[in-house]
């Protein structure tokens, strides 16, 4: 593993599934050396599918491939004293250790936080749980869909019934929050010389993104309901049917509303729609009015017209369209990596770019997700050197 702003860091990734692996992948994208410690059966997500690629004896889960690039794989049985010793030696050299076991499991394996910091006082430990490390729900297992429901996000998502987000957003946000916390603790370590424990959870990730929906309750005393395809506090701001396909419009200011009226030859003085508050109050009538206009022509006609008028708008792309889109490619958001058994793979890239790199992430080259135990010999030889 080569360059990047975090290339001087060693991360021990004890996590599995998605939240922790995503946090570790974020640091790996920035150049950190990430050693993924897996059980002899491997990360759970190696078996999550379909879809899989490759022959049966070398098959790889596309789920696993999504969240484990820029890592090395080391197989350890953490119930085996010899392998526990290998982990202890890794801890002595590491900057960061990440874990997402249930509360108390790492302690029972012989690696409570006190021992980790005895081995390495500067170690930053990231602990990700489902519902937090303490409190009455601390021992509950953390699964994304459960957290989306328990954390309120599903009560806001959908039109006819509570709906989960189409990606495991609770896991992803927990990983992002965890990576952010790790970097804060590493920065603090430059002053104190000591590491600390960073804790986050899937529940915290859900509540942390309630944004204005949260303050609708905590400040205004309103319980938000299903938002559907339209913004609950701004109009027009949402999804509208046209003669061929739906388009989205975002009129986030009075100036944009007037621009939309000009583009569609609407009466800007209509008293039902004179202010945003009134447009929200009369949203059904506004949607009906706009869709009556849009029904007369195909989506591309309206998108061109709105673009000329300076009204933010867009289509709803399928993923094959997204990854073929010139704008996606121009941002380095599709990476080519050479996999040990599957050849060249195309992977979604990091959302970050730096000024000296045309590709996503902080490094000039990216490594494919590892096969199980791919780096066993090299890592053990390095520890013995």
Among positive and negative, which fits the CA dihedral 306, 310, 313, 317?
A: positive
What DSSP designation does 211 have?
H
Catalytic pick among 95, 171, 308, 355: 171
Distance between CA 47 and CA 256 in Å, rounded? Answer: 49
Count Cβ atoms within 10 A of the Cβ of residue 12 and give its class: 0-12 exposed, 13-18 middle, 19 or more buried: buried
SS3 state of residue 246: coil
Could you tell me which of 343, 340, 346, 348 has the C-alpha nearest to residue 371? Answer: 340
Q: Is 171 a catalytic residue?
A: yes
Could you tell me which of 209, 157, 31, 12 has the C-alpha nearest to residue 94? Answer: 12
> Phi and psi for 141 in degrees, rounded to 5?
-70, 150
- Alpha helices by DSSP H, the chain: 19-29, 62-65, 81-93, 105-108, 113-119, 144-150, 169-192, 202-207, 211-218, 254-264, 276-281, 283-294, 299-309, 319-324, 326-330, 376-384
Pair of tokens at residue 318: 């399928």
Among positive and negative, which fits the CA dihedral 71, 77, 80, 82?
A: negative
Catalytically annotated residues: 171
């Amino acid at each position: 593993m080569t360059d990047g702003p975090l290339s001087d860091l060693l991360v021990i990734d004890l996590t599995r599934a998605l939240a922790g692996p995503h946090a570790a992948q974020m640091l790996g994208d920035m150049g950190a050396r990430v050693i993924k410690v897996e059980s002899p059966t491997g990360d759970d997500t190696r078996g999550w599918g379909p879809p899989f690629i490759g022959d049966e004896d070398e098959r790889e889960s596309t789920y696993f491939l999504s969240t484990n690039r820029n890592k090395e794989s080391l197989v350890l049985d953490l119930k085996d004293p010899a392998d526990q010793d290998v982990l202890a030696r890794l801890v002595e050299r590491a900057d960061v250790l990440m874990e997402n076991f249930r509360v108390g499991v790492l302690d029972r394996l012989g690696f409570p936080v006190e021992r980790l910091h005895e081995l390495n006082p500067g170690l930053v430990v990231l602990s990700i749980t489902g519902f937090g490390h303490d409190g009455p729900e601390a021992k509950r297992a953390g699964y994304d869909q459960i957290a989306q429901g328990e954390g309120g996000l599903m009560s806001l998502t959908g039109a006819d019934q509570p709906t989960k987000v189409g990606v495991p957003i609770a896991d992803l946000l927990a990983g992002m929050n965890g990576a952010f916390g790790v970097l804060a603790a590493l920065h603090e370590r430059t002053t104190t010389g000591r590491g600390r424990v960073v804790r986050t959870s899937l529940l915290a990730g859900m509540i942390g993104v309630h944004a204005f929906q949260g303050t609708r309750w905590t400040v205004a005393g309103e319980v938000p309901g299903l938002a559907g395809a339209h913004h609950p506090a701004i109009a027009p701001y949402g999804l509208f049917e046209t003669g061929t396909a739906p388009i989205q419009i975002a009129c986030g200011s009075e100036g944009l509303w007037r621009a939309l009226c000009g583009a569609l030859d609407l009466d800007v003085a209509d008293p039902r729609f004179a202010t945003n508050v009134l447009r929200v109050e009369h949203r059904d009538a506004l949607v009906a009015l706009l869709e009556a206009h849009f029904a007369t022509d195909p989506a591309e006609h309206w998108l061109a017209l709105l673009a000329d008028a300076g009204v933010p708008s867009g289509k709803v792309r399928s993923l094959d369209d997204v990854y073929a889109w010139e704008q996606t490619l121009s941002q380095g958001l599709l990476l080519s990596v050479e996999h040990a058994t599957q050849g060249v793979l195309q992977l979604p890239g990091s959302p970050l770019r730096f000024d000296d790199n045309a590709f996503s992430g902080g490094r000039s080259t990216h490594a494919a997700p590892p096969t199980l135990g791919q780096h066993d010999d090299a890592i053990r030889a390095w520890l013995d050197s």
